[in-house]
């Protein structure tokens, strides 16, 4: 019985050490969103890995829209391969509005200026490797 508690305690200690190490190496990604057309709404940014791309991204942030360029910083992103998604939420409803055909009505963009032919780009087209403690990504809304 004591060995089970000792093993559990060691596991918790190890998990907290790994968690602290992950936070210590986490980065801030400064996303410079260009092509913001008006000062209405919010510029929203999400950072996704391959498993969460175009779904529920684990890291996100937003900032009030500023015509021209809006800077949004996403903190505590661990090193890895990521893609940035951004859009200008002009009506502040928290989602990318689409028309009846599913085509976005609000301006949006992906990292690496990735574009899809008949739909969104692939994760591979938008992906970049995050290694540093701070990174800057430039995105142009279309």
Q: What domains are defined for the chain?
A: 26-140 (2.60.40)
- What are the Cα distances from residue 74, in Å, to 6, 15, 18, 33? 38, 24, 21, 13
Burial 103-135 (b: 16+ CB within 10 A, else e): eeebbbbbbbebeeeeebbebeebbeebeeeeb
Quote the CA–CA distance of 111 and 124 in Å, as a whole number: 10
Surface-to-core class of residue 72, CB atoms within 10 Å of its CB (0-12 exposed, 13-18 middle, 19+ buried): buried
The whole-number average pLDDT for the span 66-94 is: 97
DSSP state of 93: S
Q: Up-side HSE of residue 13: CA atoms within 13 Å toward CB?
A: 6
Q: Which of 105, 92, 98, 31 is nearest to 61 (CA)?
A: 31
pLDDT at 11: 32
Q: Which residue has the higher pLDDT, 74 or 39?
A: 74
Quote the CA–CA distance of 93 and 106 in Å, as a whole number: 12
- 107-134: per-residue pLDDT in tens? 999 999 999 888 899 999 999 999 988 8
This prediction has a pTM of 0.81
- 2-55: per-residue pLDDT in tens? 443 333 333 333 333 334 444 558 999 999 999 999 889 999 999 999 999 999
């Amino acid at each position: 019985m004591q060995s089970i508690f000792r093993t559990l305690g060691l596991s918790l200690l190890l998990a907290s050490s790994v968690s602290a190490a992950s936070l210590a190496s986490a980065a801030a990604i400064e996303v410079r969103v260009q092509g913001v057309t008006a000062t209405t709404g919010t510029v929203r940014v999400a950072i996704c890995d391959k498993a969460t791309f175009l779904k529920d991204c684990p890291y996100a942030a937003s900032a009030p829209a500023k015509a021209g360029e809006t800077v949004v910083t996403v903190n505590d992103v661990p090193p890895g391969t990521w893609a940035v998604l951004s859009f200008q939420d002009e009506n502040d409803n928290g989602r990318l509005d689409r028309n009846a055909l599913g085509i976005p009505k609000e301006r949006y963009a992906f990292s690496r200026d990735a574009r899809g032919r008949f739909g969104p780009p692939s994760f591979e087209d938008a992906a970049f490797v995050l290694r540093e403690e701070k990174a800057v990504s430039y995105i142009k809304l279309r």
